[in-house]
């Protein structure tokens, strides 16, 4: 089986898995549709918009990790809007099959703002890595808390492994080496500076804040639909969302974790929450997240327009990008 056929088969399997999981989730959604449609007819849409904006703020805060890593590791200060653009726009291409667009996005803006492409790749991977690590830790802890059960042994083992990674920067460097190899930039690994413990602690702390802010946004959105929903569920919702988001993120066979995230979210929420609300939240969180990303994308584009950053210089950027991406295009 050649590489192209294998990739196509993987995509088909992922699509089928997504459909199967979504079938069971949507079947329950239809079962409770009368109740859900009734509460939606009375929803506070302005309050929901506030919640979506809070979620978007949580997503944008990953830029603080990107900025700090760029400053600490490469002694380069980059404006917040530049960091946000470089980490958010390439990441949103996860909805498009293939790694080409992610690589293209980073290379384009790195060239535009005269940032070394290897540094840009490395820092972007660092930000995503700590985004995932903090999400796993918070998800495991808060899912266990929300369900009022003792944390299973396998979850404790995962936490121990993550703790070792945090305490051993060398292991983080190994993960980054794998990520750079995946992007076809493994030759740049030898130039990567050693990561300082202070940067690791800062990144984990910001990561926790990101997930907690996104959980707050989800809680506000939920209250806009279910006014009597208790604030005591805030931590459990945050844990279920972060845990399901990470599982969907690492589910490489499904497009954007479709189906996987919804299924995990529904079964991660505590049983004290009525099933109709759990089903609604499993689907609504994806919709709210997509709206928050759309608003953030619009804000970035407006900022770039205001700063005249969207002008395309054919004589400089176009040629350099085409030359730099020729190998990536062949691989895709």
Q: DSSP of 288-321, one letter per residue?
A: HHHHHHHHHHHHHHHHHHHTT-----IIIIIHHH
Distance in angstroms (rounded) separating the CA atoms of residues 303 and 81: 8
pLDDT for residue 141 is more than 70? yes
pLDDT for residue 51 is more than 80? yes
Within 8 A by CB and 6+ apart from 256, the residues are 94, 95, 248
* Domains of the chain: total: 1
What pLDDT does 90 receive?
Answer: 67
pLDDT band at 210 (very low <50, low <70, confident <90, very high): very high
What pLDDT does 158 receive?
Answer: 66
Looking at residues 181-203, what average pLDDT do you find? Answer: 70
E strands present in 201-311: none
pLDDT band at 115 (very low <50, low <70, confident <90, very high): confident
Return mean pLDDT, the chain.
77
Nearest to 326 by CA among 116, 190, 184, 188: 184
Share of the chain above pLDDT 90, in %: 20
274-323: pLDDT as tens digits: 888 988 998 899 889 989 989 998 998 898 888 887 665 544 444 343 34
pLDDT band at 324 (very low <50, low <70, confident <90, very high): very low
Looking at residues 151-156, what average pLDDT do you find? Answer: 58
Of the two residues 244 and 184, the one the predictor is more confident about is: 244
pLDDT band at 183 (very low <50, low <70, confident <90, very high): low
Of the two residues 95 and 40, the one the predictor is more confident about is: 40
pLDDT for residue 173 is more than 80? no
Q: Which region among 27-36, 138-147, 213-222, 284-293 has the lowest average model confidence (pLDDT)?
A: 138-147
Q: DSSP of 36-52, one letter per residue?
A: HHHHHHT--HHHHHHHH
What pLDDT does 153 receive?
Answer: 56
Largest CA-CA distance found in the chain, in angstroms, rounded: 61
What pLDDT does 57 receive?
Answer: 93
What pLDDT does 265 receive?
Answer: 85
Of the two residues 133 and 179, the one the predictor is more confident about is: 133
The neighbour count for residue 47, using CB atoms within 10 Å, is 15
For the record, the structure tokens of 60 come out as 């944008």
Distance in angstroms (rounded) separating the CA atoms of residues 62 and 45: 27
Stated length of the chain: 332
pLDDT band at 105 (very low <50, low <70, confident <90, very high): confident
Structural domain boundaries, residue 54 = 3-331
pTM of the model: 0.78
pLDDT band at 182 (very low <50, low <70, confident <90, very high): low
pLDDT for residue 331 is more than 60? no
Which backbone phi and psi does 148 adopt, to 5 degrees?
Answer: 55, 45
What pLDDT does 269 receive?
Answer: 86
pLDDT band at 125 (very low <50, low <70, confident <90, very high): confident
For the record, the structure tokens of 190 come out as 């030898």
What pLDDT does 256 receive?
Answer: 60
């Amino acid at each position: 089986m050649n590489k192209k056929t294998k990739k196509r088969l993987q995509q088909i399997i992922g699509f089928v898995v997504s459909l199967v999981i979504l079938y069971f989730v949507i079947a329950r959604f239809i079962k409770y549709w009368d109740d859900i449609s009734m509460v939606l007819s009375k929803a506070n849409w302005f309050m929901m918009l506030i919640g979506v904006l809070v979620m978007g703020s949580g997503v944008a805060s990953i830029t603080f990790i990107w900025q700090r890593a760029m400053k600490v590791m490469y002694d380069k200060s980059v404006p917040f809007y530049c960091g946000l653009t470089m980490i958010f726009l390439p990441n949103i291409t996860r909805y498009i099959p293939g790694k080409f667009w992610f690589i293209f996005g980073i290379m384009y803006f790195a060239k535009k703002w005269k940032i070394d492409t290897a540094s840009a790749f490395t820092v972007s991977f660092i930000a995503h890595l700590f985004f995932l690590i903090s999400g796993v830790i918070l998800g495991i802890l808060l899912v266990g808390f929300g369900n009022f059960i003792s944390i299973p042994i396998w979850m404790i083992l995962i936490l121990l492994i993550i703790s070792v990674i945090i305490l051993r920067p060398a292991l983080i460097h190994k993960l980054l080496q794998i990520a750079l190899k995946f992007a076809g930039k493994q030759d740049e690994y030898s130039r990567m500076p050693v990561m300082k413990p202070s940067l690791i602690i800062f990144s984990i702390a910001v990561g926790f804040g990101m997930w907690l802010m996104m959980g707050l946004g989800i809680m506000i959105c939920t209250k806009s639909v279910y006014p009597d929903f208790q604030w005591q569920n805030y931590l459990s919702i945050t844990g279920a969302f972060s845990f399901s988001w990470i599982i969907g993120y690492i589910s490489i066979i499904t497009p954007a974790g479709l189906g996987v995230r919804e299924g995990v979210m529904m079964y991660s929420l505590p049983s004290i929450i009525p099933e109709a609300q759990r089903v609604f939240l499993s689907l609504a969180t994806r919709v709210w997240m997509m709206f928050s990303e759309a608003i953030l994308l619009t804000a970035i584009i407006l900022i770039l327009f205001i700063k005249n950053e969207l002008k395309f210089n054919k004589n400089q950027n176009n040629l350099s990008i085409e030359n730099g991406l020729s190998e990536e295009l062949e691989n895709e």
